[in-house]
Structure formats: structure tokens, C-alpha cells
Structure 1
């Protein structure tokens, strides 16, 4: 049924939540001289980070400070259980794999190389390479075009509402990465995966 599977990165392939939230908390404290609990910053997950900083009035170049802050927590980042083995098994089937992420290209390259996941992906598209980021469908149209895959034969796997809305706008199937998603979002998705290896049952 599917000729290609596209993945989000943060919260889907890699557990980066703590590093992103902590990095943003530190940036917020440094900029506005106010410290808030980590849980109050969950709105910064999954979306267009550059647009978010601009809308909140952060100084120009704050994205680079945020990235440096995240790097301080790099030791907390790791692939979700089952991701490397599942990607390996999927690639062996011959299905095309790719990534559509709202991370910058430099972040994508560094983290995917670090965890030896990059070689699984034939195509990738990042935040600084599109004119409209997720939830706009542009990133998925790019993956479909590059892989020469009809959009209706693509499955996109993600953990946020941005990912779900992106897939629906593009006209491709969507599977929620339940291992990284919120409980509330699970109630709104028709296809929820509890473990990465469940992807293998979808292409049999």
C-alpha cells in the first residue's frame, strides 16, 4: 500500500523533549530574566522555532542561543526504543524512507549522524529549506516529489498536531507515534502506533 514512509524527527525518531524544553527555558530566563517551570514551555515543541521566537519578541539571532542551550543537554537525547531496528527492517523491504522536520539542517545532520540513523533516510527536508514549515504540507510535497511517490502512497509518522495537520493537508496517510505523543492527541487520531515495530505490519 505504501511506497514511502516519512518521519518527523523530534518526538518520533529521537527523544529530544527534555533538551528542547530545557534549552528554551534557559533562553527565556536569559532574555526576560524570569524563570518558569519546564512544563510551561511545551508550546515550543514541534512547530517553526524561528517563527515562534519572532512572534514572542526574542532578539534577532536567539535561535542560535537556543541551539547552544540545547547542546548542553545533548546527553539526554537518544533514539526511542525500537527505532534503529525498525528502520533497518523497513529499509530491507525496499520501501523509501525520509524525514520532514522543523529542525534546522545543521541540527538534523548532527543528531542523525550521532545516532547513526542518517543512512536509513533517502530524502530529508528541514526548516530552513522550505518557505512554509509544518503544518503546511510543503515539506511532504517535497518528499513525494524527490522520491517520485504519489502522495496517496505515502505514510507520514509524527507525534504532534503539526504533523497530523501537515499530513492531512498534503493528502497522505498519517500514523501517530504514540511513544512520543501526548495522551490527548491519541484520542484524535485514527491510527496510533504504540511501538515503532508496528510499522512493519502496515507494509505487509
Structure 2
């Protein structure tokens, strides 16, 4: 962990699922409806939580196979994916809620003059209406979804894109996330990274990952950064 605090930062990049929003209940409901349509057995909420983080296509594959790296029959996957997407559209923000401190943290960061960016692996068709429904969309100057660019986290491309967009160095962007995807993307891009422990990291402790700090809630971030 980096001990040179406060970190000089020009923009704060924040992940969505597991960092800003607890989306697991609605993702799980969509998965259960998909499995029911396919006459397959249900999967527990805790299991679905462990599957979140690499985009909906991977979530569907995991729900179909019961394995993190499972590969379902191609015909089954082609049938299942649109079913999941249809059901997720139906329940997108029924049970999804911001984590404690998130709204206060976003307001405090904005009031402190930081540029805010949201980078998520969730598809844009779900990302934008979800952020709008949660009252978060206007906090962000730039929103990059999982299908906004050719590659997504843990690839560094979205972070590098954001750095070019704002004409800053990657080291001037701080990524706030909840998973190995986030820490790997940040390190590959050359960005500092702070992790939150309550999200979706496959059941693993984020404190074991390569990050600069772990905080319990978003407002704590203000103590660790300063305007570059």
C-alpha cells in the first residue's frame, strides 16, 4: 500500500456495481427468472454475488454452469443471454440501492472540485438508466460502460481513455473500486487505486490485493487525496 498521502489527484474514477450500488439483488432476480424460463434450478443470492464483476455475459455463463470459468453450450448461451437482459430490464432498480455513504461521498467530492468519472463493465443500456434512477448520473462528467470501448476492465483501456479525454497522465486519475478487476486495471494503466471492502470480489478480501488503501465508505476518500 502507498503511504504517501494525501495522493495528488485531478479526477476520481469510480466503479459502479459493488462500489456505488448494491445491484446484486436485482441481478440475482434476473438470473433466477432466466433459469426458470430455461427449466434450470435456481442459484442463491450469495452465489450470484460471487459471479458479478466481469459483465453480464460472464454472469450468465456462470449462472448456467455453476462455475466461474464455465463454458455453457453455445446454443444454450445464445438463448439465455437475451432472456437475462429482458428480465434485468424489468427489475433493473427494484431492489438496487446506493451503499451507505455513497451519496454523501459523491456530493463531497464534487463540492471539493474533483472531476468524477464512472467506469463500469455493465452495458450502457443498463448503466445510464440505473445511474439516472439512483440520482447519480449528473455527478459524473464522463461515463464509460462495458461496451463503450473495445475492451473493459481489467484491461487498462478505459482508464487510459479517460486520461486522454481529460488530457492528464494516468497517475493523476484515482480509481475507486471493489474488486481484483479494478486493482488490475489501475496498475496496468499506472493509476493509484483505493478499494472498498463491501462489494463483489468473488468472496476474497480486498485487503489482500495490490492497492494504495482500503476505506470503509466513500466519504473517507477525502482524507486520502488532494487536488493535483
After superposition, the Cα gap between the structure-2 partners of 1:74 and 1:152, relative to the gap in structure 1 and judged at 3 Å, is same
Residue 134 of structure 2 corresponds to which residue in structure 1? 115
Do 2:52 and 2:200's aligned partners in 1 also have CA atoms closer than 8 Å?
no
Residue 74 of structure 1 corresponds to which residue in structure 2? 93
TM-score (norm 2): 0.80
Which structure: larger Rg? Answer: 2
After superposition, the Cα gap between the structure-2 partners of 1:85 and 1:17, relative to the gap in structure 1 and judged at 3 Å, is same
Residue 195 of structure 1 corresponds to which residue in structure 2? 217
Flag the structure with more relative contact order, 1 or 2, with Cα contacts below 8 A and sequence separation at least 6: 2
After superposition, the Cα gap between the structure-2 partners of 1:186 and 1:72, relative to the gap in structure 1 and judged at 3 Å, is same
Aligned residues: 204
Please, what is the CA RMSD of the aligned residues?
Answer: 2.1
Q: 1:26-175 residue pairs with structure 2 within 5 A? A: 26-31=33-38, 33-51=40-58, 53=60, 55-57=71-73, 58-60=76-78, 62-70=80-88, 71-72=90-91, 74-175=93-194
Q: Give CA deviations for 1:61-112 in whole Å, capped at 9, x if unaligned.
A: 6434223323336321111111112111111222111011111112111011
Stretch moving more, 153-162 or 20-29:
20-29
After superposition, the Cα gap between the structure-2 partners of 1:8 and 1:81, relative to the gap in structure 1 and judged at 3 Å, is same
TM-score (norm 1): 0.89
Q: Which sections of structure 1, spanning at least 5 residues, go unmatched?
A: none
Instruction: Report the Cα offset of residue 121 of structure 1.
Output: 0.4
The 4+ residue runs of structure 1 with deviation greater than 6 A are: none
